[in-house]
Chains A and B, each alone.
Chain A
Amino acid sequence: MSDDIRTLTTRLAEEPTSLAFLELAESLRRRGQLAAAAKIARGGLGRYPGLADAHDLMARILSDQGDLAGAFDAWADALRLDPMRTGALKGIAFLYFRAGDAAAAADHLQRAAEADPDDASIAQALARVRRESLGTAHRMESRPTPAPAPAAAPDPEPVTVVPQPVEQPDRSALFAELEGGHGLLLVDANGLLLAGSLPALGGGESGDRVAAQLAGVSREAARATRLLDLGTWQSITAESPDGHFVLVRPTGETVLLAAREPLLPVARVALLAERAARAARSWLEQLR
């Protein structure tokens, strides 16, 4: 056992409620002692379920162990607690990249770059993903056969196991029959995107980024209307010079965002939101 691990183990034994578990589990992970790292991290998570660092750490360990679905969930938990956490954004980008979804990987890396513009590794990873994406597109144009999966991760963190490709659900299908289906997002109470897509104004997809900002918005609106004796909230509209946004509540645990260009009157966007909310309710009932 190395000195640093011995020291951290002693410190954690003396103060089981301390945050020393973070450093200890990370040290164990870096040494490849993944089972021990996972055990320490799980113990810490049990004590600090609201700590984004602990979920981020757990995700790195799970990723090293090859449990990519578990890693994805853990990074999503970290983002729920801290939507701009660059480690989790890079981790999820890595998983998307390995699964061959370069666009989603680039979107997450772009968010990470916005959160930490000084981190050169993010810019490098983003450039690499975009290069790979372009290369894949060119190969697809020149050959009818599928392009090979990317061989390396954009994240400089050492992650060892080559996974099976992760199947990505078609999150746009739910709203496909509603005026093209774009610009509609169904989001759960934790800010996770359940269905839909929202193109960013400058290109790319912004659904996950926008969904993260909507975490807890329903609770916040309910609190405001309760304290001001206005009853249950029904909708929120926001008029930007670049678009009209309407938020409604298909169920108690979800919100639905409809976004359209500013030429479309807010009232029309509200009608679209109501139609999409009905479709979302049916979809959620079917899932149950």
Chain B
Amino acid sequence: MTDPQAVLDRVTRVAGVRGALVASAGDGLVVADQLMDGVDGRAAAALAGSLVGRLVRTVAGAGRRPPAFVQLRAERGSILAAPCPNDLVLIAVVGPDANVGLARLEMLDAASRLS
């Protein structure tokens, strides 16, 4: 498995990304993080982890496989999440001007290397 910090380096280099972290999907505990000041990593991990879990159940309810990428878009930015197979989830908090497309590609690649 790739070092989580190396993975986070690549994600946080994308323009507009305010922080990224790897958390345990089950309990929302932070495994590794790289966050700008003011970004609450524990809150991001717990809340994004919970939301991803709910979406996994929602999609499963429709007979579909779990999502590979999730975006919660808000007025002043987004929370991005890429679930990993080994009960980890890669999360990024991005500003409104972020290159979400590039962040998505980096996160999907990183999630595959974290597995």
**In the assembled complex, A48 has its CB within 8 A of some CB on chain B:** no
Cβ-defined contact, A240 with B43, below 8 A: no
Complex interface: chain A residues within 8 A of B64 (CB): 201, 240-243
Name the contact of B72 in the complex, choosing from A225, A239, A240, A257 (C-beta under 8 A).
Answer: A225
What is the CB-to-nearest-CB distance from B108 to chain A, in angstroms, rounded to a whole number? 9
**Residues 28-75 of B at the A interface (beta carbon under 8 Å):** 38-40, 43-44, 47-48, 50-51, 54-55, 57-59, 61-75
* Chain A positions 204 through 243: 1 when the CB is less than 8 Å from some CB of chain B, otherwise 0: 0010011011100100110111011111111111111111
**CB proximity of A71 to chain B, nearest CB, Å:** 24
Nearest B residue to A183 via CB reads B62
| Pairwise interchain contact B62-A198, C-beta atoms closer than 8 A | yes
- State whether the Cβ of B93 lies closer than 8 Å to any Cβ in chain A: yes
Report the minimal beta-carbon distance from B44 to chain A, rounded to whole angstroms: 6
**Number of B interface residues, CB 8 Å?**
34
Are B51 and A220 in touch, CB under 8 angstroms? yes
How many chain A residues touch B (Cβ–Cβ < 8 Å)? 36
| Chain A residue at minimum C-beta to C-beta distance from B57 | A213
| Cβ contact within 8 Å between A213 and B61 | yes
10 A-B pairs (CB sep. < 8 Å): A202-B63, A210-B58, A221-B51, A228-B40, A228-B47, A228-B93, A230-B79, A236-B55, A239-B67, A239-B70
Decide if A233 touches B73 in the complex (CB within 8 Å): yes
Q: Which of B51, B68, B73, B75 contacts A240 (CB 8 A)?
A: B68
Which residues from chain B contact A234 at a C-beta distance below 8 Å?
Answer: 73-75
CB distance A238 to B59 under 8 Å? yes
A236 and B70 CA atoms in complex are apart in Å by: 7
The residues of A with any CB-CB pair to B shorter than 8 Å are 198, 200-202, 206, 209-210, 212-214, 217, 220-221, 223-225, 227-243, 245, 257, 259
Of all chain B residues, which has the CB nearest A205? B62
| Given known A202-B63, A236-B73, contact A213–B47 (CB-CB < 8 A) | no
Q: Does the CB pair A228–B43 fall under 8 Å?
A: yes
Interface pair B71/A237, CB less than 8 Å apart: yes
Point out the residues of chain B lying under 8 angstroms from A235, CB to CB: 71-73
Residues of chain B lying within 8 A (CB to CB) of residue A202: 63
Residues from chain B with Cβ under 8 Å of A259 in the complex: 62
The yes or no answer to B78 lying at the interface (CB within 8 A) is yes
CB of B16 closer than 8 Å to a CB of A: no
* Least Cβ–Cβ distance between B63 and chain A, in angstroms: 4
Q: How far is the CA of A212 from the CA of B47 in the complex (A)?
A: 19
Knowing A224-B51, A235-B73, A245-B55, the reply to whether A210 touches B62 (Cβ < 8 A) is yes
Q: Is A243 a contact of B59 with CB atoms below 8 Å?
A: yes
Known contacts A230-B75, A231-B76, A234-B75; is-contact A240 B59 (Cβ 8 Å): yes
List the A side residues contacting B44 at CB < 8 Å.
Answer: 224, 228
Q: Are A227 and B43 in contact (CB under 8 A)?
A: yes
Complex alpha-carbon distance, A220 and B43, angstroms: 12
B77 at the interface (CB under 8 A from A): yes
Q: Indicate which residue in A212, A213, A232, A236 contacts B75 across the interface (CB closer than 8 Å).
A: A232
Is the CB–CB distance between A239 and B69 below 8 Å?
A: yes
Q: Are B76 and A236 in contact (CB under 8 A)?
A: no
User: How far, in angstroms, from A248 to B22 measured CA to CA in the complex?
Assistant: 27
Residue from the list B40, B57, B62, B75 in contact with A231, Cβ < 8 A = B75
Q: Which 3 A-B pairs have the closest CB atoms?
A: A231-B75, A201-B63, A224-B47
Q: Which residues on the B side are within 8 Å of A206 (C-beta)?
A: 61-63
B68 cross-chain contacts in A, Cβ below 8 A: 239-241
Q: Which residues of A contact B75 (CB under 8 A)?
A: 225, 230-232, 234
Query: Given A236-B55, A237-B70, does the pair A224, B48 have CB atoms closer than 8 Å?
Result: yes
Contacts of B63 in A (CB 8 A): 200-202, 206, 242
State whether A242 touches B55 (Cβ < 8 A). no
